[in-house]
Amino acid sequence: MLSKKIEDILNKQIEKEGYSSNLYLAMASWAENEGFKGIADWLYAQSEEERMHMLKFIAYVNERDGKAKIPAFEKPSFKLKNAKDLFEAVLKHEHYITASINEIMALTMQEKDFSSYNWIQWFVNEQIEEEANVKTILDKLRLVGENNLYMFDRDIMSLRTPASNPPVA
């Protein structure tokens, strides 16, 4: 059984994961229109992964006798000039998500909800991996430069690590 505070913060995270999925979907569409087929594929895959994160939060809340709420999602908005802008925006967003996962972890300790504390660890590790992946991409982009993106775009999918499955409740 989840405390009201834990249920509320997990419901907020459902909204954030769903927004992340839509944000990366909107960015994928931007990349496709700019002719970056590889970057678009990377973002479509990332969007799916975020949707999977959202579904895991929904399942966890419901399995622990809470009520998962499906919210309306804010329209993603961003201004991008180039691929570097895009991945900097992705990294900034992942930092924001990491901070909110850390807040959940802190609250599970405060509420002495050790089941939720254990469960959220998967997301703590996932955030380390996601931030590291985007940093690697930004490093590669710096190396190739904005005028030489053909091979970067062709090879970017090889930088993805396969999605792993978070535990269920």
Q: List contacts with ligand OFO (CB under 6 A).
A: 17, 20, 50, 53, 94, 97, 123, 126, 130
Closest distance of CB 73 from ligand OFO, Å: 14
Contact 134, 161 (CB under 8 A): no
The amino acid sitting at 74 is: E
Q: Which residue lies nearer to ligand OFO by CB, 94 or 153?
A: 94
Closest distance of CB 97 from ligand OFO, Å: 5
Q: Which residue lies nearer to ligand OFO by CB, 3 or 102?
A: 102
Distance CA 163, CA 81 (A): 29
* Angstrom distances, CA of residue 92 to CA of 26, 52, 86, 96, 134: 16, 20, 10, 6, 10
Q: Which residue lies nearer to ligand OFO by CB, 53 or 64?
A: 53
